[in-house]
Amino acid sequence: MNQRPLVADRLRQSVAEREAASLRRQLRTVTAQQGNWIWVDGQRLLNFASNDYLGLAQAPELAAAMQQAIQTWGSGATAAHLLGGHREPHAALERYAAQWLGYPRALLFSTGYMANLAVLDTCLQSHDLCVQDRLNHACLLDGARLAGAHLKRYRHQDLAHAEALLAADPERAAMLVSDAVFSMDGDQVDVRAITAVAERQQALLFLDDAHGFGVLGREGRGTVAAAGLGVESVPLQMLTLGKAMGSFGALVVGTDALIDALVQLARPFLFTTAMPPAVAAASLAAMQTARAEPWRQETLHRRIDVFRTEVAGLGYTLMASQTAIQPILIGEAGKALQCAAALAERGFYAPAIRYPTVPKGEARLRITLSASHTEAELAALIEALRQLNDQSFMNEPSAAG
């Protein structure tokens, strides 16, 4: 009799192991939203888990642009970009982004995940070398694996280690790939240092600036611009539109030759329906609004400064982040879940982040700040954290982790 292992049994076992280690995820539905407040399972919570860093997701300019585009273009693009789906709102967004950021061309994708898969699978071949930071986002790792490249991961932010990995394999074409702002730690890559490594080792540099775009640099032009650099030093960047821009999708900006190669060869671009034109119109409105309203970026950074000063004074362990991502390191997964639950009881939504999203033993509360958070809302969160730090369970071992 066939004794083939059953896939379903294996999956059930994996889920059971997650459950036992306090690592099971729970999909919770937000049933309503009003400003920074969301309703989850009937509970009204102040949201400190949103990536809407500039508070643009509910800005009237985006809604108006989307409504106007729907009247002209309808609700969908109806085809892939190269088969008639590339509409004027898509092209206008690409032109504007390229001009604003000082890059020759931009190419629009439906998600940042797709964009990163496209770049890495297109640029790399099976015999190439791809050197990446150990804490890079999953889609960057997946892109290298999809391409079948030789993936080497260097110690977080250790660019000497990155250069050693590149130097040890000089016969292979190579890419050097990093998050510009790390999504779970909030720290930033040293852009000038990594560009120097890429130049010395003749590796194509690609940075994912999902969490820096809109937040860092003059007009929010991102991590590369904040370092005073551009396309000559960083020939490819990915920028998401669903975070600080409050919309949806992603752009890859780069040289003419590299963007044209993506148009011709990138499977995630070639073989998917283009995003709804109305969404692209909203993203364009977001960029224009962000540039016209610098107070959003300025307010966000004031909120960051206050949070870091006050929470560090409470004795919490903060990570080295000057961005909107402000993780509070807890350690054990079970204890992080307890902290998140205790905050929810006090009316705040800040989920626990656990393995495998972060390394084992580094579970955390990932607080994200927005320009839309008022001084009173931030003060209320800080007071809740003070109360939480006084609770006895914060100093007791958890049952699992």
Binding site annotation covers 28?
Answer: no
Binding site annotation covers 161?
Answer: no
Residue 372: which of 260, 297, 317, 308 has the closest Cα?
A: 297
Binding site annotation covers 127?
Answer: no
- The gap between the terminal CA atoms of the chain, to the nearest Å, is 41
Binding site annotation covers 183?
Answer: yes
Binding site annotation covers 331?
Answer: no
Instruction: Give the H/E segment covering residue 336.
Output: helix 333-345
Here the tokens at position 308 are 């870091």
- Where on the phi/psi map is residue 238: left (φ > 0), alpha (ψ -120 to 50), or beta? beta
Residues 6 or more apart whose CB falls under 8 angstroms from that of 330 comprise 336, 339, 352, 363, 364, 365
Binding site annotation covers 317?
Answer: no
Residue 250: which of 361, 137, 363 has the closest Cα?
A: 137
Binding site annotation covers 137?
Answer: yes
Residue 270 phi, psi dihedral angles, 5° rounding = -70, -35
Q: How far, in Å, CA of 381 to CA of 384, rounded?
A: 5
- Where on the phi/psi map is residue 329: left (φ > 0), alpha (ψ -120 to 50), or beta? beta
Binding site annotation covers 76?
Answer: no
Q: Is 12 helix (H, G, I), strand (E, B) or coil?
A: helix
User: In this structure, are residues 37 and 346 in contact, taking their beta carbons and an 8 Å threshold?
Assistant: no
Q: How far, in Å, CA of 350 to CA of 364, rounded?
A: 10
Residue 250 phi, psi dihedral angles, 5° rounding = -155, 155
Residue recorded with tokens 């993780």 = 327
Sign of CA dihedral 72, 78, 84, 87: positive
Instruction: Give the H/E segment covering residue 313.
Output: helix 295-313
Task: Give binding residues as ranges.
Answer: 25, 112-113, 137, 183, 211, 240, 357
Residues of the binding site for pyridoxal 5'-phosphate? 112-113, 183, 211, 240
Annotated binding site for substrate: 25, 137, 357
